[in-house]
Structure 1
Amino acid sequence: MSNTTDTKNETPTRRDALKYGGTLATGIAFAGCSELVGRSGESDGQSGDGTSSGDGTYSVTMAPMGEVAFDSPPESVFTRLTHLAGMAFAIGRGNDVNAMHAPEYYDQLWNQFTERLPGVTLDWSGLYSSWDPDKEMLYDLDSDVHLADPASVNALDSWSMADIEEVTENISPWFGNQFSDRHGEPPADWADRYEYYSLWEMFETVAAVFREEARYEALAKVHANLLETLEADLPPEQERPTAVMAGMSDIESMYVYTLDTPGFLTAHVRPLEPVGALGDDVSSGDTIDMEGLLEADPDVIFAPGGMHPGTDMSGIRDAFQNHSIGQRISAVENGRIYAQGARYQGPILNLFQLEMTAKQLYPDAFGEWPTYTDGPYPEIPADERLFDRQEVAEIIAGDR
């Protein structure tokens, strides 16, 4: 396809291999919904299934796009946020991703976990950084699918609905959902076609785009078994610690996140049902100072991004212990400030983070979490692992 300006602005011509089955500007027909697989219970929405026709084409349905038609599984993959890049990774397509938000950061963070998956490799370094993507760059990348929410891209000041449609018609479809992260409000033009999905519902649908339903089913079984293990051994509510998730870039003004907020950002915490330490007057994304954190007085503090190689967890713990107010917080007194990974997690990080969070909250039930300072995800003794790393690695590689 030519990348000249004249070609980009002429009457749209659909890409032969991939196309929408409807038009974004006038609304999109929704196909039937599949039975839900998995047990996360995060969403009232249902995942769209893949349907095939006799000529080899197939369609997959998810809000807010509606029904999207494909002639063949995508090969090159544009993404913005890592929950969708992580879904490509989970079905063995991680190295086909050509763009993502903060690729250097997330390449380093994701590879803290891949270290524990035998034979699995991932390289997102050097990719195009796509938080506010340049439309001309999308032409240059010429991706087979844009795993990104068109509603969230349209919300950017630099993107109009006409731009969204142009990319759809001239390059390839959009396919993603962002506002399921915490059930946020989509732009008004998209509100009547929006639905919320759990992480694993969305993964089921993305896997169908790549015709990787079998790999999804295998990983969903691992996830369901893990949730059953956790549910069986959760301590009674009165024995659960209070907890808070707090961004640690500045301990004098911390971003905090409530643990029972709906959406996939807390998909690794909410199934474990800890007691939220924050009051009803604090919402996810609010900032509080050290006095506010002492007032909440959590038994456990989670530090998202704490496992990134650039995060100094020892320094964070020392800063709390040396702070005249911070040192009085129960989590600090008891040495329970824990590193975590990413909130925009894909399915594989979700498995690790469920195991990690279970051990951090309930060591008596699920085994002690090692004190983490740096390096990859700690090597957990085989008899204390809550899911099988080799099995997951083989599913990603397509060997199961």
Structure 2
Amino acid sequence: MTGDDTGTTAAPTRETPTRRALLGAGATAGAGLLAGCTDSLVGTGGSGDPTASPTDSSYTVSMAPVGQVAFDAVPEDVMVYSLLYADMAVAFGHGDAVNSLGFDAAAGGNTLDAYYERLPGVSFEYEDLTQLNSGSGDIRVDQELLYELDSDLHLADPCLFRSFDGWGAADIEAIREQVGPWFGNVYSRNHGQPPEGCREGYEYYTLPELAGRVGAVFRESERAAALQSVREDLLATIEDGLPPEDERPTVGAVIFSQGTFYPSNINSTGFANAHVRPLGAVDAFDDVDYDTTYGYEGLLEIDPDVILHQFGIASYYDVGSIRETVANDEVGAELAAIRNDRFYPSGTPTQGPLMNLFQLEMTAKQLYPEQFGAWPGYEAGAPYPELPEGERLFDRERVASIVRGEP
């Protein structure tokens, strides 16, 4: 067999059959990944208890689409594509195992640093990370780069890589057999549809469910549970403070570029909304087509009480500058969110557990300042604002001590 069902040529055969003896066979439930060359990335055992421990030294962790993955040791050299999993690695005390990121490591690293600045003793060294994507408009990841990285673990969704140009089932399997296993699930972000060959049996997980499984990979289930406890306390605080539904604002989540607003749903399922959905706000775009874009006039017809601009914290957009651009437009100046100074930088949808805590707190303050305290404002590229202790919605030191592995 030289390719998969799309006709993609498989990776060249290498003499070394499996490069990491310490990580065992990789995917036990998905051992026949190339059978039939279709639907090859969907394992069994995606739901239920994610972990099992056959011996004192070996263990397995399960998650769709890879099924059960066997480990003989905790991975020490890990390929990561998304900030979601980089944040998890740091949260569970294994940030130094990360060797790569999908896009500009400095951009992603700055985003993480913006939040970690408020967690004493927590940091992420990203200067020497390899950038996996070499494309500008299109995503291009060279398969050979994964062989060069020689990672213990590919902490990424193989179905995502299956969607990249030049990648097929045979290539995914070759990486698994000759380099190291895959472990990741990214289409849970918005419950999107994986590429053909990956759809049957694909499962969607909440952010805590994903974090629990990745915590088990690093043998840090107690740390994952402790962080989830902090999140549950924060959610309880938010729930207790929410105003009645008829007093909640209409909210529009957007990305603005060259005079055009691109909307997204704030209450849909998926971990992309894990920082907004719990706030129970009214989606200003609820009755419109999310595939539609808006100019100034179109957005003014909807006129959200609050506008949240995504990727606004030490990420790709200077929301303060964008707000000025919108305010300087004759029609844009009429928007309620501009007139009432409620055009805010919002979080990054590809959020892990640490990012999510800050982004929940931020959104609560932006939407309900009377209940949770006013959002203090934000300068592009700066760290997450330093809030007075009495205005914080979760305990920074408690979180930092969990990440540092202290009792």
TM-score (structure 2 length as normaliser)? 0.89
SS of 1:254's partner is: strand
Equivalent residue number for residue 221 of structure 1: 229
- Cα distance in 2 between the residues matched to 1:270 and 1:308: 22
Matches of residues 305-384 of structure 1 in structure 2 within 5 Å? 305-308=311-314, 311-374=317-380, 375-384=382-391
- Cα distance in 2 between the residues matched to 1:290 and 1:95: 45
- Cα distance in 1 between the residues matched to 2:80 and 2:341: 38
Unaligned runs of 5+ in 2: 1-10, 134-139
Over residues 96-146 of structure 1, what are the superposed CA-to-partner deviations in whole Å (9 max), with x where a residue is unaligned? 211112211111111111110111121223422224321111111111100
By how many angstroms is 1:340 displaced?
2.0
Aligned residues of 2:305 and 2:336 also touching (Cα < 8 A): yes
- Cα distance in 2 between the residues matched to 1:32 and 1:376: 37
Q: Cα–Cα, structure 1 residues 12 and 362, in superposed 2: closer, same or farther, change >3 Å?
A: same
Matches of residues 228-377 of structure 1 in structure 2 within 5 Å? 228-250=236-258, 252-283=259-290, 286-308=292-314, 311-374=317-380, 375-377=382-384
Equivalent residue number for residue 25 of structure 1: 34
More displaced stretch, 126-135 vs 97-106:
126-135
By how many angstroms is 1:155 displaced?
1.1
- Cα distance in 2 between the residues matched to 1:276 and 1:208: 36
- Cα distance in 2 between the residues matched to 1:13 and 1:215: 31
Q: Structure 1 residue 13 and structure 2 residue 18: aligned?
A: yes
Runs (4+) of structure 1 exceeding 6 A deviation are none
Aligned-pair identity in percent equals 45
Over residues 231-256 of structure 1, what are the superposed CA-to-partner deviations in whole Å (9 max), with x where a residue is unaligned? 11111111000111111343x11221
- Cα distance in 1 between the residues matched to 2:52 and 2:163: 30
By how many angstroms is 1:57 displaced?
1.2
Q: Structure 1 residue 172 and structure 2 residue 177: aligned?
A: no
> What amino acid maps onto 1:240 in structure 2?
R
Over residues 205-247 of structure 1, what are the superposed CA-to-partner deviations in whole Å (9 max), with x where a residue is unaligned? 0110110001001101001111111111111111000111111
Q: Cα–Cα, structure 1 residues 157 and 309, in superposed 2: closer, same or farther, change >3 Å?
A: closer
Q: Cα–Cα, structure 1 residues 238 and 336, in superposed 2: closer, same or farther, change >3 Å?
A: same
SS of 1:390's partner is: helix
SS of 1:338's partner is: strand
- Cα distance in 1 between the residues matched to 2:102 and 2:55: 38
By how many angstroms is 1:94 displaced?
1.8
Q: Structure 1 residue 396 and structure 2 residue 403: aligned?
A: yes
Aligned residues of 1:242 and 1:276 also touching (Cα < 8 A): yes
Aligned residues of 2:141 and 2:164 also touching (Cα < 8 A): no
Q: Cα–Cα, structure 1 residues 54 and 101, in superposed 2: closer, same or farther, change >3 Å?
A: closer
- Cα distance in 1 between the residues matched to 2:187 and 2:340: 36
Selected match of 1:125 from 118, 124, 127: 127
RMSD, aligned CA: 1.9
Task: State the number of aligned residues.
Answer: 380
Selected match of 1:144 from 152, 158, 161: 152
Aligned residues of 1:257 and 1:286 also touching (Cα < 8 A): no
Q: Structure 1 residue 159 and structure 2 residue 167: aligned?
A: yes
Equivalent residue number for residue 196 of structure 1: 204
TM-score (structure 1 length as normaliser)? 0.91
Q: Cα–Cα, structure 1 residues 11 and 309, in superposed 2: closer, same or farther, change >3 Å?
A: closer
Equivalent residue number for residue 39 of structure 1: none
Aligned residues of 1:279 and 1:296 also touching (Cα < 8 A): no
- Cα distance in 2 between the residues matched to 1:387 and 1:348: 11
By how many angstroms is 1:64 displaced?
0.4
- Cα distance in 2 between the residues matched to 1:116 and 1:279: 35
- Cα distance in 2 between the residues matched to 1:154 and 1:168: 13
More displaced stretch, 265-274 vs 376-385:
376-385
Equivalent residue number for residue 38 of structure 1: none
Aligned residues of 2:43 and 2:66 also touching (Cα < 8 A): no
- Cα distance in 2 between the residues matched to 1:182 and 1:314: 27
